[in-house]
Amino acid sequence: MKRNLFFLALMFSAIVFGQSEENQSKTMGFYISPNVQVGYNLGNSIKDNQNQDSQYYQQYVSPKLPNKYTYGVGFVGGYHLLPFFALGTGLKYNYITDNLHLLNWTIQPKFIFGKDEGKFIVEFEYGKQLNQSNINNTHYFGGKLGYQDSFSKYLLQEGGLFIYRYNSAVSEAFFIGISLNATVFSNKKYTVYGND
């Protein structure tokens, strides 16, 4: 029995310590990531039974309806926990319509696929409104499919397609669009530039 345990321990240590630097999984470490977004509203923001010419509609309903387009900027900081998983949190500003400017606290789990340069990402996001606006207590959830490529020793560039759905407080706005961001991280060995 002792011989079997010794043999297993020897094999385990050979596997763990015998990996080359190239084959070891890498993480970014701590990271910060500013981003910009532009989106289009696919949701039904106007109900069929509403009289759009009425004074009530013009005064109370119309100002709260989302525009067809939205834009946003955000800032997320986090930690790359595992080679395939990172978790971040931060703030995001979204313009939905006049008098509806939302500042959201966000949480953002990210899944990263690929071993070499050029990695695919799947990102999920939940946000909760922090500020007071024309409509309050909104929240949203959604996701992004994207591509990540290294730019320098401590910098990545990332782009992708996102889809977000806001709750009924903003008439169930459903945005799809493009997101671009840059990521600055602490582990210089994460990219091929770190070998220079």
Enter the pTM of the model. 0.72
Residue 52's pLDDT is 53
**Please, what are the domains in the chain?**
35-195 (2.40.160)
DSSP letter (8 states) at residue 123 = E
Residue 16's pLDDT is 42
Element (H, E) at 164: strand 155-166
Dihedral angle computed from the Cα positions of residues 85, 90, 91 and 94, in that order, rounded to the nearest 10 degrees: 0
Burial 91-120 (b: 16+ CB within 10 A, else e): ebebebbeebebebebebbbebeeeeeebe
Q: pLDDT > 70: what percent of the chain?
A: 69
Residue 48's pLDDT is 39
Residue 4's pLDDT is 52
Which two structure tokens, joined as six digits, stand for 52? Answer: 């759009």
Which two structure tokens, joined as six digits, stand for 29? Answer: 């470490």
- Give the residue ranges of the chain where pLDDT is below 50: 10, 12, 14-21, 23-25, 46-49, 51, 57
| 168-188 confidence digits (pLDDT tens) | 555 567 889 999 999 999 887
Residue 127's pLDDT is 92
Q: State how beta strands 174-185 and 119-129 pair.
A: unpaired
For CA atoms 129, 146, 68, 168, give the dihedral sign.
negative
